[in-house]
A = this chain, B = another copy of it.
Amino acid sequence: MRYSMLGGGKRVRPTLCMEVARVFGAEPSVTLPSAAAIELIHTYSLIHDDLPAMDDDDFRRGRPTAHKKYGEAMAILAGDAFFGEALTLITVHQKGTCEQILEVVRELAGSTGVNGMVGGQVVDMDLTGVGGSADPEALRLIHTFKTGALIKSSARIGAILAGADAAGQKAVSDYALELGLCFQIVDDVLDATSTREALGKSGGKDAEQGKATFVGVYGLDGARREADESVGRALASLSTLPGDTSGLRELALFVRHRGH
């Protein structure tokens, strides 16, 4: 668990959670237990997605994946344990009203189950092999569930803990869904164009496995255009918010222009 959790990573989700809290006038660090819990859940999903039965990846963040280092059984169990530990972080350490904390748990429950992260991975596995002939809508659906749901929850949890109203929660949800989409498109572009050294994980694996990707469906230039449009919509969603959104704008531009 330490190996996978502390081996680097961009920490996009906790950063998003904390920056959203700032927009609504809260001290970002008040969200730390929940923000960390989200990263634990994200790490669990990476460990399980990398397993031989799933994407069968040997490298992650520049190092052997958990199952390469500790074996499959320990990798499955490390992922499993992260979920319980994430809930402990929230239910024992998160400050706020009982209603806020329960709402945080409810949010994560929804984004990690059948209608969230796991459902998206199921469809992703089902479509492996179809490659460039994937339906663009199916592709969006995969990523709305697989990565978008947890990224959206990261933003909503920041908003919930900062006491944002429904309109504020809606605005950051819209922003986060586009951020998640952009993140995935850029992932696909990087997979198609970067080396393992730059990525920290094996590149070119998507094409090799016949994964449904944005590059496969739209081509390289088309995918870059989709990423630009997505980040444009993300920034537009922020315009209705009264608070300081500079951190969220910076995060969107980082996600679009990152090189790894």
Residue numbers of A with Cβ under 8 A of B are: 1, 48, 51, 53-54, 71-74, 76-77, 79-81, 83-88, 90-92, 98-99, 101-102, 105-106, 108-114, 116-119, 121-122, 125
Query: When the two chains form their complex, are residues B81 and A53 in contact, meaning their CB atoms are under 8 A apart?
Result: no
Sample of 4 more A-B contacts, CB < 8 Å, known A53-B76, A79-B80, A91-B109: A73-B125, A80-B118, A87-B105, A105-B105
Complexed CA–CA distance, A84 and B99 (Å): 19
What is the copy number of this chain in the assembly?
2
A99 contacts across to B, CB distance below 8 A: 98
Complexed CA–CA distance, A113 and B1 (Å): 11
Q: Which residue on chain B has the smallest CB distance to residue A125?
A: B73
Query: When the two chains form their complex, are residues A118 and B87 in contact, meaning their CB atoms are under 8 A apart?
Result: no
Query: When the two chains form their complex, are residues B71 and A84 in contact, meaning their CB atoms are under 8 A apart?
Result: no
Q: Which residue on chain B has the smallest CB distance to residue A80?
A: B118
Query: When the two chains form their complex, are residues A80 and B48 in contact, meaning their CB atoms are under 8 A apart?
Result: yes
With A110-B88, A113-B85 as contacts: A76 and B102 at CB distance below 8 Å: no
